[in-house]
């Protein structure tokens, strides 16, 4: 059939020229639209009438493969789009001194605002007070355990600072020295204890040693005087007096102590004593002994200390609660707050810059991103899944339907050519 014959009549023109492109174009558009719809619909399985045989392609492809789709999407996101390296890199970009300072500033300002709310501050005080005994016990136990196992020098460093900042510069007032001297006199320098001490010293060996020392070290005049007086004889007579007349001896010692103002002399010596006047080596040895003895005491009495800490539960709770309730942010100097913000942000920045990679590597497995994404998508209903895909690929799906119509239209024109050359 020639082109002249093809266009010889209006009816032939319609059926041979106009109808095929229209029909094929509509067919291509409809077929593509049905294929797109088959991705999502029907939402539920359907069965042949009066049977339990499931009709093919029901439900739609996406609803039927929803679980595998969820797993594939989760796997793609966690293994390709959102890897640990990518998250770490983005986190490192965010961890800057400026960002950390902004976060710390907002955090501290938020806390200070909360302290101005009376109801909230009372609730906060109650909550923290309830936790304070357990926190205190945990801190003390942790410090003592580390000290016991030589795992930390925290307590040693604290004791060093206590010695340098508190004990070394400490000075005792005369009133305090007088009280200490009084206790010494009551416990150590009583007439009876002095008498017993003298009796312990006046042994024959010590008396002979005293006489030999005088003869060895004293000058000639004092040697002669010692022989005239008879130091050895006097010592024996004093010993006899202390043994045979204890009451008189103790009265004599008491009178000597009073007349010589021994208590005042001890008070003056205590009040004038300054550790900083000692040689540097002696101070270093004293500090080392102080730290060692204190650490040994803490380790040796660990259980007693923990028991004591557990017994002050109510006192700790009450102290913490009162401290928080009576805390007034307005009394804090602004310079101190600014310095605290700067110091805390500097510490946080240095820590995060150093540990951000390890923190994220430990946190990601616990977050369970794969399971989270997979379960989230799997929980979508079929209409939600269709709406999600349509929202993302609306233009592409519409263009796909148009492309199907265009292909059908081209096939229609091809059919015209076929009809023209093939009878």
Position 360 in a domain: no
**What are the pLDDT digits (tens) for 144-157?**
888 888 877 878 88
Residues 202 and 223 in one domain: yes
Are 208 and 68 contained in the same domain?
no
pTM of the full structure = 0.43
Q: Are residues 163 and 294 in the same domain?
A: yes
What mean pLDDT is predicted for residues 269-295?
Answer: 87
109 occurs within a structural domain = no
Residues 6 or more apart whose Cβ sits within 8 Å of residue 276: 168, 169, 283
Same domain, residue pair 190 and 265: yes
Query: What's the chain's average pLDDT?
Result: 80
Q: Is 84:364 a contact under the CB 8 Å cutoff?
A: yes
Would 358 be classed as within a structural domain? no
| Separation CA 117–CA 121 (nearest Å) | 6
Determine the Cα–Cα distance for residues 123 and 114; give it in Å rounded to an integer: 11
Residues 20 and 73 in one domain: yes
Domain that holds residue 388: 3-89+367-421
My answer on whether 318 and 268 are in the same domain is no
User: Are 263 and 190 found together in one domain?
Assistant: yes
pLDDT digits (tens, 9 = 90+) for 292-326: 898 888 888 888 888 887 777 777 777 777 776 77
Considering the domain architecture, whether residues 230 and 81 belong to the same structural domain is answered as no
- Which segments within 118-232 are labelled E, that is strand? none
pLDDT at residue 12 in the model: 61
- Say which range, 223-227, 269-273, 389-393, 405-409, has the weakest mean pLDDT: 389-393
Q: Please report whether residue 135 resides in a domain.
A: yes
129 and 318 Cβ atoms separated by less than 8 Å: yes
Q: Which residues pair with 54 in a beta bridge?
A: 47
Structural domain contains residue 136: yes
Residues 137, 164, single domain; the answer is yes
Q: With a cut of 70, say whether residue 422 has pLDDT above it.
A: no
Query: Looking at 242, 273, 304, which one is the last position of a domain?
Result: 273
Last residue of one domain, picked from the residues 258, 273, 288:
273
Q: Tell me, yes or no, whether 55 lies in a domain.
A: yes
Of the candidates 410, 401, 390, the one whose C-alpha atom is nearest the C-alpha of residue 32 is: 401
For residues 243 and 387, state if they share a domain: no
- Whether residue 395 is contained in a domain is answered as yes
Verify that 282 and 237 share a domain, yes or no: no
The two structure tokens encoding residue 51: 């049977």
pLDDT tier for residue 336 given thresholds of 50, 70 and 90: confident
Domain count, the chain: 3
> Alpha-carbon distance 237 to 229, whole Å?
12
At residue 101, φ and ψ (nearest 5 deg) are -65, -40
- Examine the domain organization and report whether 161 and 284 are in the same domain: yes
Task: Mark which of 273, 289, 304 sits at the end of a domain.
Answer: 273
Residue 160 within any structural domain of the chain: yes
């Amino acid at each position: 059939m020639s082109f002249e014959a093809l266009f010889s009549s209006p009816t032939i023109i319609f059926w041979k020229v106009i109808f095929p492109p229209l029909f094929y174009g509509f067919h291509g558009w409809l077929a593509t639209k049905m294929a797109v719809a088959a991705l999502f619909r029907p939402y539920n399985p359907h069965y042949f009438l009066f049977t339990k045989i499931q009709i093919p392609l029901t439900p739609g492809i996406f609803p039927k493969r929803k679980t595998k789709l969820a797993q594939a999407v989760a796997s793609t996101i966690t293994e390709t789009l959102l890897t640990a390296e990518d998250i770490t890199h983005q986190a490192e970009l965010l961890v800057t001194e400026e960002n950390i300072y902004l976060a710390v500033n907002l955090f501290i300002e938020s806390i200070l605002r909360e302290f101005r709310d009376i109801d909230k501050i009372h609730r906060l005080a109650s909550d923290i007070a309830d936790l304070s005994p357990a926190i205190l016990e945990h801190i003390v136990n942790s410090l003592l355990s580390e000290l016991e196992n030589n795992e930390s020098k925290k307590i040693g460093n604290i004791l060093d600072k206590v010695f340098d900042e508190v004990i070394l510069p400490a000075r005792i007032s005369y009133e305090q020295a007088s009280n200490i001297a009084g206790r010494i006199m009551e416990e150590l320098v009583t007439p009876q204890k002095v008498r017993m001490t003298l009796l312990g010293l006046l042994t024959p060996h010590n008396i002979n040693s005293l006489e030999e020392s005088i003869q060895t070290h004293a000058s000639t005049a004092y040697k002669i005087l010692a022989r005239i007086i008879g130091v050895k004889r006097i010592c024996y007579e004093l010993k006899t007096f202390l043994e045979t007349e204890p009451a008189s001896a103790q009265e004599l010692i008491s009178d000597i102590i009073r007349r010589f103002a021994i208590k005042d002399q001890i008070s003056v010596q205590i009040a004038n004593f300054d550790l900083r006047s000692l040689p540097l080596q002696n101070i270093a040895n004293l500090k080392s002994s102080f730290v060692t003895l204190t650490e040994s005491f803490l380790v040796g009495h660990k259980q007693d200390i923990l028991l004591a800490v557990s017994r002050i539960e109510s006192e700790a709770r009450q102290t913490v609660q009162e401290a928080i309730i009576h805390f007034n942010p307005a009394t804090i100097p602004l310079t101190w707050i600014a310095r605290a913000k700067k110091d805390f942000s500097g510490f946080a920045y240095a820590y995060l810059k150093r540990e951000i990679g390890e923190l994220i590597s430990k946190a990601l497995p616990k977050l369970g991103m794969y399971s989270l994404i997979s379960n989230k998508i799997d929980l979508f209903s079929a209409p939600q899944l269709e709406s999600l895909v349509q929202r993302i690929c609306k233009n592409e799906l519409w263009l796909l339907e148009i492309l199907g119509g265009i292909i059908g239209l081209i096939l229609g024109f091809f059919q015209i050519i076929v009809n023209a050359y093939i009878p």
